[in-house]
């Protein structure tokens, strides 16, 4: 991710998550073979997809 505004939105979204949800995403990212796909999904959930177009 190169856009600093998108990075900030992701960081804020992760910090706003309850501990259990953040732990879920961390566990998914650590135990998957294709981590990049999972992290992309998380990024799309936390940022506005219409802003990327």
Determine, yes or no, domain membership for 33: yes
Q: Kindly indicate the confidence band of residue 51, based on its pLDDT and cuts at 50, 70 and 90.
A: low
Residue 52 resides in a domain: no
**Residue 15's pLDDT is what?**
92
Classify burial at 42, counting beta carbons within 10 Å of its beta carbon; exposed 0-12, middle 13-18, buried 19 or more. Answer: middle
User: Considering the domain boundaries, does residue 26 fall inside one?
Assistant: yes
15 assigned to some structural domain = yes
Instruction: Evaluate whether 47 touches 9 at the Cβ level (below 8 Å).
Output: yes
Residue 30 lies in a domain: yes
Domain that residue 35 falls in: 4-47
Q: How many domains does the chain have?
A: 1
Residue 16: inside a domain, yes or no? yes
CA dist., res. 25 & res. 44, Å (int): 13
In angstroms, rounded to a whole number, what is the distance separating the alpha carbons of residues 52 and 10? 14
The answer to whether residue 53 sits within a structural domain is no
22-47 residue pLDDT tens: 898 888 888 878 888 888 888 888 88
**Residue 53 scores a pLDDT above 70:** no
């Amino acid at each position: 991710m190169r856009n600093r505004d998108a990075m900030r939105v992701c960081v804020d979204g992760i910090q706003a998550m309850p501990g259990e949800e953040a732990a879920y995403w961390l566990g998914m990212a650590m135990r998957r073979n294709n981590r990049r796909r999972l992290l992309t999904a998380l990024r799309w959930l936390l940022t506005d997809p219409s802003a990327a177009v």
